Chains A and B, each alone.
Chain A
Amino acid sequence: MKNLKYLLLRRVTQIGLLVLYFGANAYGWTILKGTFGSSLLFGVIPLADPYTTLQVLATGFVLGADVLLGALIITLFYMIVGGRAFCSWVCPINMVTDLANWLRRKLNLDKEEVNYRFLKRRARYWIMVLGLIVSAIVGIAAFEALSPITIMQRGIIFGFGAGISVVIAIFLFDLFGVKNGWCGHLCPLGATYSLIGKTSLIRVKHDHEACTACMECKVVCPENQVLHMINKESISVTDGECTNCGRCIDVCNDDALGFGIRSFTKK
């Protein structure tokens, strides 16, 4: 029996957040109001998505102080503490793409993996910049106009409509198209959090002595290029792309992986 600790914790967090947001609209709860674009925590603390904020700024509109402060709070949190944890602990699309990925493994679709040469993992950074340029040209927050993340979240809070098709499309793309296609290659929000989270303190640590090179962690990791040190050296994951999902820790049977605080002293 494999350990499911972090997987379950993540699902509880993700679904719990959606329940809170849903309750804010349906029952008037005041714990967490709004959407991931911009929220109000306990009716006082503003929170805002940094990339959305940047897009609106790119359109040439200077936002209200609430949003700017909220974006700063979120940025600092992930910069100092969480890393790219938004993607695996908060984002609802993560549940869709994780399901697609799990099915890929069950259906053995990975064995026939095609080498999509045109779709590099760094494509998301291009899309991130492109989103800002398009926002500036067209004059609306460009990614928000098609973001499956907020479409899915608003769908859950306010009702889906035809927006559900976007979510299904991402599921199918990740299942039959590119492995980790959306989160790992395209999503500009993930790219933003990768950059923000580069310096964060909470890190997955690898113990080379304990590792038996079973490579289970690399199979489940959605960004397995960050696990380049497996069975090589005892260092922690430092790449911004690591989503801190902890799935590698769950599946490791040798206690070679675990969360820790980043150490800045070199060994």
Chain B
Amino acid sequence: MANSDNNRRKFMATTLQSVGLTALGGLLWSGYCDEAKASPLVLRPPGALAEKDFLDACIKCGMCAEACYNRDSNIDKETGKQRPGTLQMAKGGDHRLVGTPFFTPRDVPCYMCDDIPCVPVCPSGALDMPSLLDKKGELDINKAQMGLAIVHKESCIAFWGLQCDACYRACPLLDEAISLEYMKNERTGKHAFLLPVVHSDVCTGCGLCEKACVTEKPAIFVLPREHSTGKAGAHYVKGWDKKDQERVGNRKAEEIETHTKRSEKAPVDYLNKEIEY
């Protein structure tokens, strides 16, 4: 009897030990993976699923990076030599989920190949080909949304009044993704400002503008779309836009009554009763 009790105790202890060790290992592992997943702003190949899904789906085979590197159009026309591929496979120390493809526009931007070699080779569906097909069912690189270029006005020398249109000239969708806005320079009274403006519905985030930017640290740079776009919210309505107005139907402003905590109190009270908005 005593012996069987002992056995049972031993069994329970070993079981608990195993479960405990496994749980510990699992927690450490999850922690590491979560950390590895939380990459900084990273640009993915064209057609890549939303970052969260992309990390699920990418099987880290590197075939996109190979296709990007191994092609005739990757030969530098000036030197005749092979130039480095746009897509890099993240390795230890890159601070990106190891083994996933990414690119750094300032080093090598995406050259927007017509046949998009990196996408059809993806075996896992992490690079989604249907998202890049046009109405005729052909691959169209202009549908890519790798990121969105942002102009930092304070460091862009065009905004200073110096003449520069490097990014505008470098853009493969010239006058569509980046256009120049002309403004009079009040200081000189004669020269015009040529201000680059990025159009977010057209920009693919290829990064050719960032590569071309002449400033020490690029004044125009590509960020993943989720980080470079804002959102106004559905409750703002453009009253002058017929289509947008349809969203709210035929309701008139007088008919709409908004009830919030604040609206229960009289507007004048904010002066006397220190009501905060």
Q: A residues near B, CB below 8 A?
A: 24-25, 27-28, 33-35, 37-40, 46, 48, 52-53, 56, 59-64, 66-67, 70, 118, 126-127, 130-131, 133-134, 137-142, 144-146, 150-151, 154-155, 157-166
Query: Which chain A positions have C-beta within 8 A of B93?
Result: 161-163
Query: Which chain B positions have C-beta within 8 A of A38?
Result: 59, 61, 63, 123-124
**Smallest CB–CB gap between A23 and chain B, Å?**
10
CB–CB A140/B97 < 8 A: yes
Query: Which chain A positions have C-beta within 8 A of B59?
Result: 37-38, 48, 52-53, 56, 63, 67, 141, 144
CB–CB A140/B22 < 8 A: no
29 residue pairs bridging A and B, Cβ less than 8 Å apart: A24-B66, A24-B70, A25-B66, A34-B61, A34-B62, A34-B123, A38-B61, A38-B123, A40-B63, A48-B123, A61-B53, A63-B125, A64-B122, A66-B123, A67-B59, A118-B21, A130-B25, A130-B29, A138-B33, A141-B56, A141-B59, A145-B97, A145-B99, A151-B98, A151-B99, A154-B99, A155-B91, A161-B94, A164-B92
Q: B residues near A, CB below 8 A?
A: 18, 21-22, 25-26, 29-30, 32-34, 36-37, 52-53, 55-57, 59-63, 65-66, 69-70, 88-89, 91-94, 97-99, 121-125
* Pick from B36, B65, B66, B70: contact of A140, CB under 8 Å: B36
**Smallest CB–CB gap between A13 and chain B, Å?**
20
**Smallest CB–CB gap between B255 and chain A, Å?**
45
CB–CB A145/B89 < 8 A: no
Query: Which chain B positions have C-beta within 8 A of A126?
Result: 18, 22
Query: Which chain B positions have C-beta within 8 A of A59?
Result: 56
Bound together, the chains give a CA A35 to CA B123 distance in angstroms of 12
Bound together, the chains give a CA A53 to CA B125 distance in angstroms of 13
List of 10 A-B pairs having minimum Cβ-Cβ separation, nearest first:
A162-B92, A161-B91, A162-B93, A28-B70, A163-B92, A66-B123, A38-B61, A64-B125, A34-B61, A61-B56
CB–CB A138/B63 < 8 A: no
CB–CB B62/A158 < 8 A: yes
